[in-house]
Amino acid sequence: MKWVEKYAPKTLGDVLGNAKAKAEIEVWANKWLHGNPQKPLLLMGPPGIGKTTIAHLIGEEYFSETIEVNASDKRSYDILKRSIGEASKTRSLFQSGYKLLIMDEVDGISGRDDSGGVRAINDTIKNTKQPIIMMANDPYSKRLSSIKSKCQAIKFTKIHTNSINARLKKICAHEDITYDPEALKELSKQSSGDLRSAITSLEAVVDSNRNITKESVAVISEKDGEQNIFDTVRTVLKSKNPDHIRDAMRVDAQPQFLIELLAENIPREYERVDEIAKAYDMISLADVNLGRAFKTQNYTYWKYAFLFMGRGVAAAKEKTYKKFTRYSNSTVYKKLSKSRKNKNLKEAVTHKMSEKLHTSPKELEKQLPFYEELFKDNEIAYDLKEYFQLEDDEVKLFRSRKIPASVEKKRIKELRKQQELEEKEIQKQKKEQAKMDKTKQETKKSATTKKQETKTTDKTTKKDTDKTSNNDTKKKQVKKTTKTSKKPEKSQKTREDKNTEEKPQKKSLNKDKKKNKKKSKQTTLFDF
C-alpha cells in the first residue's frame, strides 16, 4: 500500500490546516442532518490540501451513502445527467437519511470538449433533493462563474510548511526511518503546501538503508518547478541575474507566445527609449532563430531563441526598475483566441440548432444574421434559448446583453398559465367526450328497447289477426248451421209440444207417489 493511502486521514480531526473551512463544512452537514436543506458546497483551493478527503469523511460521518463523480472526465450533458441527475432526486433504497453527491474538478468541465456539462450541473443544483459537495482547484476560474453563484463557496489555503514537516516526522517515526532534519525541512518546502505530494516524495527518497539525506532530497526537484509564464516575464524584465533568468525560462509554453508576451510588456516596464529599442532588437533576433528552427527542422536554434528573448532582453536595461507593473496578455493572442473562441462557439450553436431544425450547419451559418434580429426582442430571445437549449455563453453569439431575469420570470408565468389553460381544455374535451359517450349509450339502449317493443307489437297483432280469423270462421260455421236448422222447424215444434204434454203428466205421478208414502208412514199400535 502506498503511503498516501496508508496515512490518509481517518477523521476530520486528522486533516491538517483549514480549521475554519472544516468548521463551516460541519455546520452545513449538521443542518442537512436535522432536515434543513442547504446550498451545495463549492470547495476551492490548490490540489493536495484535503478537499476531496474532507468531502468523503463528511459523507461517512453525516450521511448514509456517498456517490462520487469526476466532472472533468464526464463532460457530456447526458452522461452527467445519468450519473448524478437521477441520484440527486431520489433517496437511498436500502438506507435512511440523505446521500452525499461529490463532484471533483468542476473547474475542468467547461472546455472545448464540453457538450453541456455545465448545464447538467446547473440543472442538478436546481432540482436536487440531496446534499452536494463540489471541488475546484482554481477559485478565480471564469469557468465557475455560472456555478459559484448557486453554491456556498469555501476557500482552502495551502498547508503550512511546519505542519507538513511535523506530519512527515510522524511518518518517519512510524516507518523506522532515520532522517536529516534539514533534508525533511527542504522536502516540506518543496511540496508548496501540498501534503499529498510531500508524502509521495518522502516515500520516493527513502533509500535502501531506510535513511533520508540532503543528497537524496536534492534529486527531487521542486514541485511544479516550471515557472508560471507571467512569472517568467516578470523575472526577465525585473532582473539582471543570468541564473535567475535561466531558471525562469524553464516554462511550459510555446516560444512564440512567450515572445508575444515579452513584446507586449517591454514598454510597460522599460522607460528609456534606447532600452526599449535594444529589447525589441533582441526579440527580433529570437524570432529569426525560431523561424530557422521551424524551416530547417533543426530545433537547436531554439536555444539561441531563448537566450535572446531571456538574457538579451534583460541585458537591454541599464538598471532594474523598483516599481509595480501590471503585465498584460498579448493583444495578438487575445484576438486570435477570441476569434477561435467565436468560431468554436458558432460551431457548437449551429450544431445544436441544426439538430432541432433538421438542416445542415452550413445552411444555418447563412441564417445567423436573421436570428440576430430575432434575438433583439427579450421574450423571443428567451423562447429561442429554451427551444434550442442554449447556454448563456451561446446566447452571446446573437446578442451582447444577457436576457433579463424579469423576462424569464414573466415567460415562466405565461407558460404556466398556458399549460393550465391547456389542461382545462383537455379536461373539458374529456367531459364532452364522456357526455357524447353517454348519449350514444342511451340512444343504443332506446333503439334496442324500440326493437323489442316492435317485436312484441308484431306478436300481438299476429295474435289479434289470428283471433279475428278464427272468429270469422266460427261465424261462417254458425251461419251454415242456422241455414241447415231452418228446414226441420216443424218437427222440432211437435217434439217440443210432446215434451210439454209429457211434463205435467210426470209431475202428477210424482205427487201421487208422495201421498202414498205419507200414508204408509202413519203410526200403528205395533209401533209402540
Residue 223 has pLDDT above 50, yes or no: no
Residue 273 has pLDDT above 90, yes or no: yes
Q: Looking at residue 286, what is its pLDDT? A: 92
Residue 279 has pLDDT above 50, yes or no: yes
Residue 294 has pLDDT above 90, yes or no: no
DSSP lists the bridge partners of residue 341 as none
- Which positions ≥6 away from 107 have C-beta within 8 Å? 136, 137, 138, 141, 143, 144
Average pLDDT score over residue span 216-228: 53
Residue 528 has pLDDT above 50, yes or no: no
**SS3 for 239?**
coil
Residue-wise pLDDT for 138-180, tens only, equals 776 666 777 787 888 888 888 888 888 888 888 888 888 888 8
Residue-wise pLDDT for 347-396, tens only, equals 888 888 888 888 888 888 888 888 889 998 888 888 888 888 888 888 88
User: What's the rounded Cα separation, in Å, for the pair 470 and 473?
Assistant: 5
Which region among 338-347, 369-378, 410-419, 427-436 has the lowest average model confidence (pLDDT)?
338-347
User: What's the rounded Cα separation, in Å, for the pair 106 and 153?
Assistant: 13
CB-count burial class (<10 Å; 0-12, 13-18, 19+) for 2: exposed
If you count them, how many residues does the chain have? 528
Which residue stretches of 140-241 are H helix?
A: 145-148, 161-174, 181-190, 195-205, 214-219, 229-238
Task: Identify which has the larger pLDDT, 523 or 331.
Answer: 331
Give the range with max mean pLDDT: 202-216, 328-342, 480-494.
Answer: 202-216
CA distances from 430 to 297, 427, 438, 442 (A): 78, 5, 12, 18
Residue 191 has pLDDT above 90, yes or no: no
Which region among 197-211, 280-294, 350-364, 371-385 has the lowest average model confidence (pLDDT)?
197-211
Average pLDDT score over residue span 23-33: 88
Residue 471 has phi, psi (to 5 degrees) of -60, -40
- Of 230, 315, 333, give the one whose Cα is nearest residue 270: 315
- Of 264, 316, 265, 259, give the one whose Cα is nearest residue 284: 259
The verdict on pTM exceeding 0.85 is no
Write down the domain spans for the chain.
Answer: 18-155, 161-219, 229-329, 333-403, 406-439
Residue-wise pLDDT for 61-118, tens only, equals 888 788 777 655 444 445 555 555 555 555 555 456 778 888 877 776 544 444 456 7
Going by pLDDT thresholds of 50, 70 and 90, the confidence category of residue 345 is confident
What percentage of the chain exceeds 70 in pLDDT?
73
Pick the CATH number of 161-219 from 1.10.8.60, 3.65.10.10, 2.60.40.1180, 3.30.70.120: 1.10.8.60
Q: Looking at residue 76, what is its pLDDT? A: 47
Q: Looking at residue 18, what is its pLDDT? A: 84
DSSP lists the bridge partners of residue 349 as none
Task: Identify which has the larger pLDDT, 31 or 209.
Answer: 31
Q: Report DSSP state, residue 84.
A: I
Q: Does domain 18-155 have CATH number 3.40.1030.10?
A: no
Residue-wise pLDDT for 461-479, tens only, equals 665 666 666 665 555 565 5
User: What's the rounded Cα separation, in Å, for the pair 470 and 487?
Assistant: 27
Q: Looking at residue 455, what is its pLDDT? A: 67
Q: Looking at residue 285, what is its pLDDT? A: 93
Q: How high is the mean pLDDT of the chain?
A: 76
Going by pLDDT thresholds of 50, 70 and 90, the confidence category of residue 487 is very low
Per DSSP, the residues of 261-324 read HHHHHHHHH--SHHHHHHHHHHHHHHHHHHHHHHHH--TTHHHHHHHIIIIIHHHTSSS---S-
Cα angle: 519, vertex 520, 526; to 5 degrees: 120
User: What's the rounded Cα separation, in Å, for the pair 220 and 202?
Assistant: 10
Q: How many CA atoms lie within 13 A of 297 on its CB side?
A: 0
Q: Report DSSP state, residue 114.
A: -
